[in-house]
Structure 1
Amino acid sequence: MKNILYLFIILFTLQTKAQEIKFGKVSKEELEEKFYPLDSTADAAYLLKKRRTYFQYDTNDGFVVVTEYHERIKIYTKEGFNYATKKITYYKPESGDTEKISSMKAYTFNIEDSKIIDEKVSKKDIFDEQLNKYRSQKKITYPNIKEGSVIDLKYTLTSPYWNIKALNFQYGIPVKQLDYEVEIPEYFIFSKTSKGYYHIPPKESKKNKTITFSSKSRSGGGWTPVKTTYHSSKVDYTSKVSAFFQKNIPAIKENEPYSGNINNYRGGLEFELSGTNFIKVGGSYKNYTTNWEDVSKTIYKSSSFGNELDKTNYYKNDLNTIVNSAKNDYEKIASIFQFVKSKIKWNGYNAKYTEDGVKKVYKEGVGNAAEINLILTSMLRSAGLNANPVLVSTKDYGIPLFPTLDGFNYVTTKVNFSDGTYILLDATEKYSFPNILPYRNLNWYGREVLKDGSSRQINLIPSNHAKENNILHVKLDESGSVEGMLRKTFSDHNAMFYRQRNNVIKEEDVITNLEEKYTIEIDEFKVLNSEDISKPIVQNIKFNGEDFIEGINDKLYFSPLFFLATKENPFKAKERNFPIDFSLPWQDQFSVSITIPEGYTVESFPGDLAIGLPEGMGIFKYKIITQGNKIKLNSIIQFNKAIIPPHYYESVKDFYKQLVEKQTEKIILIKQ
């Protein structure tokens, strides 16, 4: 038994040491590894993802949050070279307290002639640039990167703000070893929220710690010598330590189709300060947030939110002119909405609070999202409408599933009607329309903040489908060439997306893009309603093309949807453990009329197909009719759900498989 116990201790010790990866010490085995053993498709992998976050007491600043990082990456392919450029974003406003990055060291390791060669990242390879008025970025470029290189990075981030950055367990590449530790003093209360579909249970422990306060006093003076007395006192406290350790964590890759913000679905843990308790050291208890009611009231009571809504004098004269000719509430809304959009330009900053204030923004004509939409909300209220601001988390910011102050970074506007209906408005976007919010806002749910500071959940996903209607008339030539007319109509969100994408470029560039996409030559091109956002976009294209018809032994073979067919299933992965995110419901319709060459008849054509997804989530219909020298096709693809849960992935994958097979199936013409 003693021998067995002794052997167990030895093995445990060896295993523990094997887990220790020291900065700057790279093995030949790491450098000689040709591919990641558990995922041969990986272009790179984290050999180590290590982090320690703790609170440190500073005599001048009080508690600050210190996070030490160490990451080691193995690069397997040229595509993995992207990981040889590291970007670290940190908070550095133009004025006020800033975060600081220190103790930065980095190396590139290669193996040459069986020798390990290390190259230190020099100061000239580290760039510091101001991204905007709030944030800066450290950019590190590793030297001498090759297939097989290992890069090693270590640095410390110190923040005066009592926040703990999210712990991410999954990334776009696999993680061979993850080692995180978070140490929180008893004075701070953090709520924790799991995100994604990969979880690591923490190992909890406690540490006893001490803060030493030092001070000095002087006595004497005049005829008496000055005497300096030094004083010190100690305060003992306890810190709670959460440790997360895991090996061989799979990647969630960014190239999966319809992923939305992939970071929403990668496993991890988010922290939010919900309270502080300094009663033990002569301070007080402060609650920051416990439920949605507290969250909304805290935000509403802010001088940069609720108070800004109450200011009205600065726009009164303009408002009287704007609504003077309006015959009903809908005309009032349209007039005010269009006025705010044209008067104030969005500066590109997402925000839930004002910065310069609504008066200054109104006067100067430039503001952040909160300023613009709070002005819109206030003007609508002053015009007698039941309007409220809506707190939003943009798609790139995350999903606030639980009560959180930090979970929102944007404000939009809602107008309620007596019959229970409502419309959503966002005046930051030139081409938006009532209930046509910018893509960045289509992120599950928002919180409507009422006049008393209470709130209620609002669905941000539109109920109307984003529609694209295709009417295609094609005439076939016996030689295999085609000519025809295509009329595309874009409605609702698709119309806004079209304008955002194409109204900012030259028409010849739009034509070139279409010719390359469809492999056609465009003879005539016209777009209707490009600036009239109340109407759908209508695109008329006269074209000709080749290579759509294959001639074999007096037979012609072609797909009746030609260049409009979906030729490839976007869903290729064997499995998927996060949702399919279309962002909004959508519908594509196709009406095709084909005139076949004289002397030919239809030998065969694809049969009808009608399939659906579970719970009415989507449909695909396809039907062909032949009438003399005419072939007519009607088809529709429609998804009624914006977000499809991962357990339906196989159903959607098979749905698209059948769709692609049907849309690429050939019609066969035979010469009489």
Structure 2
Amino acid sequence: MSKSLLITIFVLLGTLNCTLGQEIKFGKVSDKELTQESYMNDNSASAAILYKKQDTYLISSNGESRLVTEIHERIKIYTKEGFEYATKEINLYKNRSAKEQVKKLKAVTYNLENGKVVETELGKDEVFETDLSYNYNQVKFTMPNVKEGSILEFSYRVNSPFIWNIDEFRFQYDIPVHKMFASIRTPKGFRFRQTPKGYYSVYPKKYTRKDNRIGMDVVVNEYTVTNMPAMKAESYVDNIHNYRSGVMFELVSVELPGFFRSYAQSWKDVAQTIGSSDDYKNELDKTRSFDDELDNLLANETSQVDKMKAIFKYVKSNISWNGLDGKYFFNGLKKTLKEKKGNAADINLLLVAMLRYAGIDANPVIISTKDNLIPFFPTVDRLNYVLAYAKINDKPYFMDGTEEFSDINVLPIKDYNWKGILVDNNRKQWKQINLISPGTSSNMYSLNVDLNEDGSAEGTCKARFDRHSALNFRNGYKSKDMESFLSAKESMLSDIEIDEYNAENAENYEGRVGESFSFFNDYGADEIDGKLYLKPLGFLAMGENPFKVEERVYPVDFGFPFKDVYMVKLNLPEGYKIESCPESKSLKLPDGLGLFRFNITPRENEVDVMVNFEIKSSIIAPSYYPLLKEFFNQVITKESEQLVLSKI
């Protein structure tokens, strides 16, 4: 691990009054801030958080307690690329009975015009609240009158009824942070586990004082951050928020005079809690909504595997996803079947119920999807999704009916996130289990190319994809009209012209996808002094290395292992011979993580090329990053070597 990963940000704090003395008042923007042209510690930054203050504490009134988080943030915009930070999104957690709310929102944009500070306030009609998912609402606004050099300032308060469910304190973003002060006040006797995350550690100052708002002593943890570098998402990352500096809180126990209770949970506790809900305890065995229809569906199926496939196909064909995650019903079985639409739980718990009715050993598995972060400690509320899980002859089968082109044991990529929580109430098994790993996806290309004397090339291409490669192809194929789809493909393949295009099995979710087309390429080779120079792989050659930074502190997530096979037959133009030809070469990543084989065979009138490129693990640890980057560099170098043809 490099020295930069070992940097620890030590916090020099005084008393509470000293910290508050450093507080910046809303609206007091200095000329220095307004005239600043770049961030002092990172000239490449398009924007920076100049100041952020976050206070989290409890209030109690009329016998009701609420968790309050106050935010005050000031952002400097340096370039047009920084305009994206003028949009603020506040995610608010909710469950069936309660929800978080934003209060006292105030936002102003400051610009320096003709030597004077011009203030533009955010209007109330410019703030929008929407349903983001089953468990989250979102308040969103875009700051007005934003220009290069603008300062954006906003403050708001989040009121939460979930008093022991404290959101992560995040200290690192994809733009640098100049100053940040964060504090949390919790009642004395309420012990929280504080779990740091990320690669820059921030240590709090801790002390006890009286809080008159709740009438008892509180434990104060104060964090100060200065000059936190940006952490931007790079190629192939699951969720960058998993790796940014921050701290997470979990209530472990409450110890008051004459009272003690432990809240520390195991994953078994979490599974039992979910399993004891009515959705899992009772609803899954109510079959009256579908028993007759299922009897007809399964009448001709004999094996359990065939029954499972028939049920999976029925649910995918008849129930559409409403776009909402969830581990609990949104509609319930009866309403989902009636409306033919539901959230993730409606669809996948319906799958479980139907599989059970067919006599198949099936249960729910609860997960947190990749866009919902990795759960670092046992938690009910932060799990957001459920899968259907079946076991037949000791073989596991995972299913997610929300994705149109997913298949049994070929889940949407978002589902492959750490582990799952099995809820098997019938056997009284509540535990953490491993999810099935995504299998290797194959991409096979066969090119027959006729090279012309003027450097142009024409020919045919046939390709075949399976598993997740097929899933990705199908999603891309369906999301665009044919003209847009082919235009994007032509651009991706070095601006060739495509004709006679055909896709096979692209509208089904089972089996391989095939495609074929003819092509014409104006620039198949460069003609220089009567010689032709070209890459033997043509438009199949890798263009650029996706890994550009020198150092990476979080894993590379390819989503799934893959194997690319390229077979090219290059027919030489009449009257030309091979003057020089690249050599064959093999490369390997350590510990069997990947390989590259480039085999080229020159013949009298043609050149045959066979390339095998494999990444054998979906996730590669950051310690391998330098080797992975160099591996890709060497692949690109080899595939860029020129075949030279001269006249006979």
| Cross-structure match for 1:131 | 131
| Cross-structure match for 1:659 | 635
| Cross-structure match for 1:171 | 173
Asked whether the equivalents of residues 442 and 584 of structure 1 are also in contact (C-alpha less than 8 Å), the reply is no
Asked whether the equivalents of residues 487 and 541 of structure 1 are also in contact (C-alpha less than 8 Å), the reply is yes
| Cross-structure match for 2:224 | 245
CA drift of 1:460 comes to 3.4
Bigger mean CA deviation after superposition, 644-653 or 195-204: 195-204
SS at match of 1:131: strand
SS at match of 2:72: strand
Mapped partners of 1:444, 1:565: distance in 2: 34
Asked whether the equivalents of residues 296 and 453 of structure 1 are also in contact (C-alpha less than 8 Å), the reply is no
Mapped partners of 1:123, 1:33: distance in 2: 27
Letter in structure 2 aligned against 1:245? T
SS at match of 2:352: helix
| Cross-structure match for 2:199 | 197
| Cross-structure match for 2:424 | 450
CA drift of 1:187 comes to 6.3
Counterpart mapping for 1:507-546 below 5 A? 507-518=482-493, 519-546=495-522
Letter in structure 2 aligned against 1:479? D
1:593 lines up with 2:569 in the alignment: yes
Asked whether the equivalents of residues 461 and 642 of structure 1 are also in contact (C-alpha less than 8 Å), the reply is no
Bigger mean CA deviation after superposition, 310-319 or 190-199: 190-199
Mapped partners of 1:435, 1:17: distance in 2: 54
Mapped partners of 1:199, 1:266: distance in 2: 10
Bigger mean CA deviation after superposition, 75-84 or 20-29: 20-29
Mapped partners of 1:64, 1:336: distance in 2: 45
* Aligned counterpart for 1:576 among listed residues 552, 569, 572: 552
Change (3 A) 1:347 1:191: farther
Change (3 A) 1:406 1:653: same
Asked whether the equivalents of residues 581 and 644 of structure 1 are also in contact (C-alpha less than 8 Å), the reply is yes
Bigger radius of gyration:
1
| Cross-structure match for 1:490 | 465
* Aligned counterpart for 1:621 among listed residues 580, 586, 597: 597
Counterpart mapping for 1:258-269 below 5 A? 258-269=236-247
CA drift of 1:274 comes to 5.2
Deviations 1:525-550 (A, max 9, x none): 11111233322000001111111210
CA drift of 1:285 comes to 6.1
| Cross-structure match for 2:3 | none
Mapped partners of 2:478, 2:456: distance in 1: 32
Asked whether the equivalents of residues 472 and 592 of structure 1 are also in contact (C-alpha less than 8 Å), the reply is yes
Deviations 1:181-223 (A, max 9, x none): 01112464544333332321122111223467xxxxxxxxxxx
Bigger mean CA deviation after superposition, 593-602 or 189-198: 189-198
Deviations 1:627-670 (A, max 9, x none): 21111111111111111111111111101110111111111111
| Cross-structure match for 2:8 | none
Counterpart mapping for 1:380-529 below 5 A? 380-418=355-393, 420-451=394-425, 452-460=427-435, 462-518=437-493, 519-529=495-505
Bigger mean CA deviation after superposition, 268-277 or 169-178: 268-277
Deviations 1:125-145 (A, max 9, x none): 632333357654433333332
Deviations 1:426-475 (A, max 9, x none): 11122111111012212132222223443344433534212211111111
Change (3 A) 1:313 1:112: closer
1:319 lines up with 2:279 in the alignment: no
Mapped partners of 1:274, 1:375: distance in 2: 35
| Cross-structure match for 1:330 | 305
Asked whether the equivalents of residues 599 and 610 of structure 2 are also in contact (C-alpha less than 8 Å), the reply is yes
Deviations 1:500-556 (A, max 9, x none): 221243323322222222211112111111233322000001111111210111210
Bigger mean CA deviation after superposition, 180-189 or 478-487: 180-189
Identity of aligned residues (%): 39
| Cross-structure match for 2:285 | 310
- TM-score, normalising length: structure 2: 0.92
1:547 lines up with 2:523 in the alignment: yes
Asked whether the equivalents of residues 462 and 585 of structure 1 are also in contact (C-alpha less than 8 Å), the reply is no
Change (3 A) 1:147 1:244: same
Mapped partners of 2:423, 2:286: distance in 1: 17
Change (3 A) 1:16 1:390: closer
| Cross-structure match for 2:644 | 668
| Cross-structure match for 1:361 | 336
SS at match of 1:313: coil
Bigger mean CA deviation after superposition, 554-563 or 525-534: 525-534
Counterpart mapping for 1:185-224 below 5 A? 185-186=187-188, 188-210=190-212
Letter in structure 2 aligned against 1:594? L
Letter in structure 1 aligned against 2:108? Y
| Cross-structure match for 2:10 | none
Letter in structure 1 aligned against 2:537? L
Asked whether the equivalents of residues 109 and 150 of structure 2 are also in contact (C-alpha less than 8 Å), the reply is yes
Asked whether the equivalents of residues 126 and 138 of structure 1 are also in contact (C-alpha less than 8 Å), the reply is no
Change (3 A) 1:605 1:204: same
1:43 lines up with 2:19 in the alignment: no
Structure 1 residues without counterparts, runs of 5 or longer: 1-10, 213-235
CA drift of 1:34 comes to 1.6
Change (3 A) 1:298 1:187: farther
Letter in structure 2 aligned against 1:359? K
CA drift of 1:96 comes to 4.9
Mapped partners of 2:441, 2:47: distance in 1: 38
Asked whether the equivalents of residues 289 and 405 of structure 1 are also in contact (C-alpha less than 8 Å), the reply is no
SS at match of 1:304: helix
Q: What is the RMSD computed on CA atoms of the aligned residues?
A: 2.5
Change (3 A) 1:139 1:290: closer
Mapped partners of 1:275, 1:438: distance in 2: 38
Asked whether the equivalents of residues 498 and 518 of structure 2 are also in contact (C-alpha less than 8 Å), the reply is yes
SS at match of 1:396: helix
- TM-score, normalising length: structure 1: 0.89
SS at match of 1:379: helix
1:100 lines up with 2:74 in the alignment: no
